[in-house]
Amino acid sequence: MDEYYMRQALTIAQYASGRTSPNPLVGAVIVKNGRIVGQGWHRKAGTPHAEIHALAQAGDLAKDATVYVTLEPCSHHGRTGPCADALIAAGVKKVVVAMTDPNPLVAGNGLTRLKEAGIEVVTGLLAAEAAKLNEVFIKWISTGMPFGVLKTAMSLDGKIAAYTGHSKWITGSPARQFVHKLRDTYDGILVGIGTVLADDPELTTRLPHGGNNPTRIIVDSMARTPLTAKVITDGRAPTIIAASCAAPAERVEALRSRGAEVLLLEKTPSGVDLRQLFKLLGEKRITSVFVEGGAAINASLLDANLIDKVYWLIAPKIIGGKTAPSPIGGTGATTADQAILLEDITTHSIDADVLITGYIAGREGRDVYRTCGRIGES
């Protein structure tokens, strides 16, 4: 039953997916005499945490109850008060925690406060599932770098467009709808200047109910983004242009005058210093970056060890053409045994298309994710 209630907490935590950044997703369930008397989830940064919602629903029934929470209750004053103190004041008897909080401001202090108040504390139940739920938060709070997600869609023979450059559409409508659901959950969406010049994309979330529009990030070393581009003119989301210090000053100022934020980064042979870009994005509390770029930017991000997770869509089509582009450009591996490996792979069908999801093996942040899944096991 403990596992059942914790899974319920994990399920309701996901209701706020894409809404809590830079905070984690958290769910809480309060049980008394074998019955759920309160439950809640953190809904948005700056608003009450999951435990507070659950306690409000439980009322007086929280006294001597057991609380199941997916992440260690906070112990510090931020925009809201400490949840550990609220649980103590409510008189709960036992708190079951999936994983401790990797945030240095918490990091076990909440558990200590509960124990010192005489509350029984159990940790580590479904810790791996809880860590995966908050893989974005764990990477960002532990390293200061955004969680990098690469999405690509290709034909059965590995093409992302015809040799003419025409690419609409590789996958079917259900798969494209799935991609918009992904956009709705991540903080930033990144493409290279080549994509902007070729397709003039909106880079917005288009779901039947609307959805969140991520911050648009254009890697554009020479500030060539047209002032008439949709990412500049439509105003539905902020736009960041990642240019190099070699970009013409008049182009930089023109983009800024249209409302774009232009970051001037170190110039590299391939364009701009992408690790410097991700560091600056992390400092701006952009905790995740969803990449929908072309072959060149995809290769550069992989080479820079900035991608953590991959969504790879494969359509049952054969495009052909030896010059037709593939998803990953660059030089590539020298030998097949040097190829980038994926782990924790899942495969799903989306109508006629196939989705492969996996994590880059051995990349920065992946070990952090695994470690946090084991923290506090007892």
Q: In what order do the strands lie in the sheet with 353-360?
A: 261-265, 239-244, 215-219, 188-192, 288-291, 147-155, 309-315, 353-360, 342-350
Residue 337 CB-half CA count within 13 A:
0
Distance CA(213)–CA(211), nearest Å, equals: 7
Structure tokens at 170: 């590789």
Residue pair 241/223 in contact (Cβ under 8 Å)? The answer is: yes
Distance CA(261)–CA(232), nearest Å, equals: 10
Rounded to 5°, angle at Cα 17 from 69 and 176: 150
Residue pair 29/53 in contact (Cβ under 8 Å)? The answer is: no
E-state strands within the chain: 27-32, 35-41, 66-71, 94-99, 120-123, 147-155, 188-192, 215-219, 239-244, 261-265, 267-268, 271-272, 288-291, 309-315, 342-350, 353-360
Phi, psi dihedrals of residue 357, rounded to the nearest 5°: -115, 135
Q: How many CB atoms lie within 10 A of CB 354?
A: 17
Strand partners, 300: none
Residue pair 246/266 in contact (Cβ under 8 Å)? The answer is: no
Q: Omega before 169 cis (within 30°)?
A: yes
* Residues recognised as catalytic: 51
Burial class (CB within 10 angstroms; exposed 0-12, middle 13-18, buried 19+) of 45: middle
What's the chain's length in residues?
Answer: 378
